[in-house]
C-alpha cells in the first residue's frame, strides 16, 4: 500500500494578491514561495520519493525544481490531470470580488451543480482526479504529487469516499503536504494540510485499529 504525498505548490504571486490564478501559466512563486521551495528540499529528502508527478504549471515546477536540481536522477513526470481547475471567466479576478458573485454560494455549497463560465465543471475536475488516482494503483511508493489547492481537496474527498459537494470542507495551504495510502481495494487519509511535516512509515493493517500509529519514531527521538 504505497504512501502518496500531496504537495500544494508554494505561495504564488496570485496567492499574495488574492487572485484566482486558475490555469494561468505565467503565475510565479512569490519571494516567500521561493524560500518555501528551498526549504522543501530537506522535507522531500526525508520522504525519499521513488517518483514525482507534477502539474505542468510554472508555480508547481518552481516548487519542485530546487529538489530536482539536487537529485537529478529522480524520475519526474508532468501530468495534465494534475493541472489547476479551469475557472474560465473567473480566472484572473480578485477573490474579494468573486465572493460577491451570485454563484459564489453555489461554488461553496453545491459545486456538483456548477460549471464556471467558459470553464470547467467540478464534475470534470473530479473525473480527472479519479483518473489520475487509478494511475497510482500498483505503483511502488513513496510517491510525491505536486499540484493545486482544489485538485488536492478533490483528491482527498475522493479517497475518503465523500460526495463531491463535500470537497470544500478541506483546507490546503500553499506549501502544505497531505499524506494518503492508496490501493485499488482500500485507500486511507493519513494527514492533511501539514506545514510541519514528518514522514510516514509504511502502513499495515494494525495501523487502522485503535487509531493507528504511523509516525516514524526516529524523527521524534527526544520524545519518550
Cα–Cα distance, 35 to 147 (Å, whole number): 18
The domain containing residue 203 runs over which residues? Answer: 3-220
Residue 97 has pLDDT above 50, yes or no: yes
Mean pLDDT along residues 201-224? 42
The fraction of the chain above a pLDDT of 90, given in percent, is 68
CA torsion sign for 177, 105, 123, 112 is positive
Confidence class for position 87, pLDDT limits 50, 70, 90: very high
Confidence class for position 96, pLDDT limits 50, 70, 90: very high
Q: Could you tell me which residue, 178 or 216, shows the higher pLDDT?
A: 178
Per-residue pLDDT at 204: 47
What pLDDT digit, counting tens, does each position of 20-63 carry? 999 999 999 999 999 999 999 999 999 999 999 999 999 999 99
Per-residue pLDDT at 197: 64
Structural domain total, the chain: 1
Average pLDDT, the chain: 86
Mean pLDDT along residues 87-112? 92
Per-residue pLDDT at 2: 80
The CATH number for 67's domain is 3.40.50.1240
Residue 12 has pLDDT above 80, yes or no: yes
Q: Could you tell me which residue, 102 or 218, shows the higher pLDDT?
A: 102
Contacts of 159 (CB under 8 A, 6+ apart): 133, 180, 182, 187, 188, 189
Q: Could you tell me which residue, 75 or 147, shows the higher pLDDT?
A: 147
Mean pLDDT along residues 74-102? 93
Per-residue pLDDT at 196: 75
Per-residue pLDDT at 138: 80
Q: What angle do CA 45, 11, 95 make, to 5 degrees?
A: 150
- The number of residues making up the chain comes to 224
Per-residue pLDDT at 198: 61
Per-residue pLDDT at 215: 46
**pTM of the predicted structure, to 2 decimals:** 0.87
Fill in the DSSP letter of residue 82: G
Amino acid at each position: 500500500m504505497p504512501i502518496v504525498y500531496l504537495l500544494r505548490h508554494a505561495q504564488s504571486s496570485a496567492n499574495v494578491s488574492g487572485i484566482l490564478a486558475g490555469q494561468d501559466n505565467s503565475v510565479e512563486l512569490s519571494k516567500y514561495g521561493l524560500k518555501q521551495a528551498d526549504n522543501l528540499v530537506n522535507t522531500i529528502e526525508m520522504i525519499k520519493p521513488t517518483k514525482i508527478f507534477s502539474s505542468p504549471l510554472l508555480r508547481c515546477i518552481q516548487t519542485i525544481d530546487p529538489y530536482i536540481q539536487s537529485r537529478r536522477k529522480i524520475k519526474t513526470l508532468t501530468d495534465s490531470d494534475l493541472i489547476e481547475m479551469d475557472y474560465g471567466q473567473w480566472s484572473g479576478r480578485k477573490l474579494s470580488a468573486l465572493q460577491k458573485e451570485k454563484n459564489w454560494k453555489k461554488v461553496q455549497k453545491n459545486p456538483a451543480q456548477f460549471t464556471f463560465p467558459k470553464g470547467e465543471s467540478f464534475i470534470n475536475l473530479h473525473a480527472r482526479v479519479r483518473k489520475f488516482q487509478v494511475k497510482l494503483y500498483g505503483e511502488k511508493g513513496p510517491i510525491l504529487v505536486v499540484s493545486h489547492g482544489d485538485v488536492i481537496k478533490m483528491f482527498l474527498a475522493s479517497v475518503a469516499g465523500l460526495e463531491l459537494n463535500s470537497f470544500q470542507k478541506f483546507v490546503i495551504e500553499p506549501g502544505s503536504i497531505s499524506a494518503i495510502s492508496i490501493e485499488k481495494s482500500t485507500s486511507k487519509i493519513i494527514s492533511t494540510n501539514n506545514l510541519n511535516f514528518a514522514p510516514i512509515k509504511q502502513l499495515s493493517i494494525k495501523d487502522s485499529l485503535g487509531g493507528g500509529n504511523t509516525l516514524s519514531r526516529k524523527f521524534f527521538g527526544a520524545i519518550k
